[in-house]
A and B are shown apart, each in its own frame.
Chain A
Amino acid sequence: AQSVTQLDSQVPVFEEAPVELRCNYSSSVSVYLFWYVQYPNQGLQLLLKYLSGSTLVESINGFEAEFNKSQTSFHLRKPSVHISDTAEYFCAVSDRGGSYIPTFGRGTSLIVHP
């Protein structure tokens, strides 16, 4: 069994400030890791994923996340946020052993103030 903990339910920041959304997971096997973003009244969209290779993964809109196996973390960062980044962010993990059912965190609401 696996679990995902998103340590902050809400993160308020000012525009152009850096932000980090924290995600920790537990699993008895190797994992795939994902960050999804949900804008108001929409479904979830994949932001970035770690499947293998480099532990630092980047999205096209400036977010990045680093897989840290020793700390079982996959924190999401952006050096300078925009108003348009205001959304709900979900971390998810699935095991490499064949199960295709991811476990989601409860979400972090990123609120960017002007």
Chain B
Amino acid sequence: AQSVTQLGSHVSVSEGALVLLRCNYSSSVPPYLFWYVQYPNQGLQLLLKYTTGATLVKGINGFEAEFKKSETSFHLTKPSAHMSDAAEYFCAVRVMIYNQGGKLIFGQGTELSVKP
């Protein structure tokens, strides 16, 4: 069965520092992987996704993630954190069901704090 584990429920970085949010997945089939961001009192916004092809995917707001099959990982990075990046981040894997649809299974979320 597919699953997602996010390492670290809280990550704190200084403004301008590297952001690294870790995600490991378990999947018996080639995975579709996603990162979402949730700002307070808002819905989830897609940051980036990996389906097939290039393993380094770029998303919005300067974020990128690299799919590493050998490590079953899909870590999210950003070279330089901004105060506006403070939010909850979710990694997710898609599970297909009977070719009629599917669902996303989410990790537990990582809260990113950015210190001035």
Q: Specify whether A and B are partners.
A: no
